[in-house]
Amino acid sequence: MATKTTVLTGLDAVDLAAAIRDGQFTAEEIVEAHLSRIEAVDQQIEAWAFLDPDHARKQAIQADKRRRAGQPIGPLHGVPVGVKDIIDTRDMPTENGTVLDKDRRPTNDAAVVAELRAAGAVILGKTVTTELAYYFPNKTKNPHDLARTPGGSSSGSAAAVAAGMVPVAIGTQTNGSIIRPASFCGVVGYKPTWGLIPRTGVLAQSFSLDTIGTFGRSVADVALLADCLIGHDQGDPATAPIAHQGLLAAAQSEPPMEPLFAFVKSPVWDQAEDTSQKAFAEITQFLGEQCDPVELPDIFADGYILQRRLMTAGFAHNLGHYERRDRQQLSQQMQEAIDEGRGVPAHDYLAAVDGIGVLNAGLDEIFKRYDAILTPSAPGAAPSSLSSTGNPAFCTLWTLAGTPAITLPLLRDDDGFPIGVQLIGKRGNDARLMRVAAWLAKAVGASETKEG
């Protein structure tokens, strides 16, 4: 028999928000259910870097008081949200996954945290990140198999959502740190167009690459959360005032016609595992005439070098102070990346920045015909190892180009572990990508139901 905890932790964020608005459940009940779930499973998964149950309860009580008083409530009113531990919170520590920031207490909220509070969300806690949001693993394990990596660097956010400990969470991506862990953990992960969500108050790695994104169990959930975060902030010059895109409305609407997909293997297709290649052959066959194989222009093969230069040079600039404080407290991977970044010549860095526009010019030609690019999210299912966070190669080009990307948990390997399907949209056209992603998720789900 289902308990209240299993019912509430099984609902999507969109449904939870509606249930609170309608008075079906209180925010306190919903938060308590998720705290119970955390108590039951997080000792094994370890997705949380900081959790204060009493503080979460107090936020929920205040949310319920506000609603009972008839005061305006936001779109996330009472909904629990996990926040990656490189995003500043004035009422909780932000330790950036390194002992060098142990017990660090920011004095201000990051811009996105301020928006979460304005939307009525309950900041449940801080989710685990890898060291300084790079490759060195932290403590989190994959909920599907504790011997497998959850991916990184947003490992805690992906694992917490996958395990039902929180309905939605925020992460960041500079290479593959949203799409890869979402794929490995079998949830939906969304990386918006670069500059759509402000990064003020978030650990900086690379100005031209860093992107804040969302995790959830459905396309509608990641859209709902992102809708509350999008906006202009003077602290982040990458952002600009734009008209509201309405991602949730797009995710809940039907495309005017059946979408067309460009199946792009990308220059790293040889790194895709056999089971992954087989699974993608099946989904392209399922789409039939709606999906065509498309080759990227040759210039995309250089994208991996360009992304690496931008990332490591950014590390040297933004993270070098950690190395100067105490180099030995950093992992070998981080030390080497900072050293590498210091050796990037200025002309190579500027050429890499220019390369972003060149790549998007090539993609624009593809998007003249196709609604979205379809490609793997990762080489395969989560590797059976906790010593690394897996290979981000299938994310690199899209992070460099700054295009919106979303991964859907539509495929499985031979052992039943999730394999993500990544969809890429035209830069700046995130709403269209949401509509297409929701269509594909529904189409595949209906096909599986019919076959079952």
pLDDT digits (tens, 9 = 90+) for 400-409: 999 999 999 9
Question: What pLDDT is attached to residue 326?
Answer: 98
Q: Tell me the pLDDT of the chain averaged across its residues.
A: 97
Whether the bond into 266 is cis, omega within 30 of 0? no
Amino acid making up residue 158 = A
Our answer to whether residue 58 is catalytic in this structure is: no
Residues 6+ apart with CB under 8 A from 197: 112, 211, 212, 213, 226, 229, 230, 231, 239
Mean pLDDT over residues 328-347, rounded? 98
- The secondary structure of 289-348 as a DSSP string is GGEEE-PPPGGGGGHHHHHHHHHHHHHHHHTHHHHHHHGGGS-HHHHHHHHHHHT--HHH
Q: Rounded CA gap, 334 and 337, in Å?
A: 5
pLDDT at 371 (0 to 100): 98
Over the stretch 42-64, which tens digit does the pLDDT of each residue have?
999 999 999 999 999 999 999 99
Task: Give per-residue pLDDT as tens, 69-111.
Answer: 999 999 999 999 999 999 999 999 999 999 999 999 999 999 9
**Which element (helix H / strand E) includes 423?**
strand 418-424
Domain ranges of the chain: 4-251, 261-403+421-451
pLDDT at 4: 86
- How many beta carbons lie within 10 A of that of residue 183, not counting itself? 33
pLDDT at 1: 57
CA distance 334 to 332: 5
Among 84, 126, 141, 191, the one annotated catalytic: 84
Q: Residues 213, 170: contact at Cβ < 8 Å?
A: yes
Mean pLDDT value of segment 369-382: 98
pLDDT at 450: 58
pTM above 0.85, yes or no: yes
Q: What's the chain's length in residues? A: 452
pLDDT of residue 445: 85
Superfamily of domain 261-403+421-451: Amidase signature (AS) domain (3.90.1300.10)
- Counting Cα atoms < 13 Å in the Cβ hemisphere of 269 gives 15
Please check whether residue 402 is in contact with residue 356, taking contact to mean a CB–CB distance below 8 angstroms.
Answer: yes
Check: CB of residue 154 under 8 Å from CB of residue 172.
yes
- The predicted model gives 200-210 an average pLDDT of 98
What is the C-alpha separation between 178 and 225, in angstroms, rounded? 14
User: pLDDT for 297-327, tens place per residue?
Assistant: 999 999 999 999 999 999 999 999 999 999 9
Look at residue 15 and tell me whether its pLDDT is greater than 80: yes
pLDDT of 447 strictly over 70: no
Express each pLDDT in 227-236 by its tens digit: 999 999 999 9
**Strand order across the 261-263 sheet:** 48-51, 122-127, 80-84, 168-173, 211-216, 188-191, 405-412, 418-424, 372-376, 261-263, 291-293
Single out the catalytic residue among 177, 208, 276, 377.
177
84 catalytic residue (yes or no): yes
| % of residues, the chain, pLDDT over 70 | 98
pLDDT of residue 397: 98
Phi, psi of 36 (to 5 degrees): -65, -40
Known catalytic membership, residue 153: yes
pLDDT tens-digit series, residues 136-181: 999 999 999 999 999 999 999 999 999 999 999 999 999 999 999 9
CATH code of 4-251, in short, is 3.90.1300.10
pLDDT band for position 452 (50/70/90)? low
Q: Are 430 and 246 in contact (CB under 8 A)?
A: no
Domain 4-251 identical in fold to domain 261-403+421-451: yes
Catalytic-labelled residue, pool 36, 153, 183, 208: 153
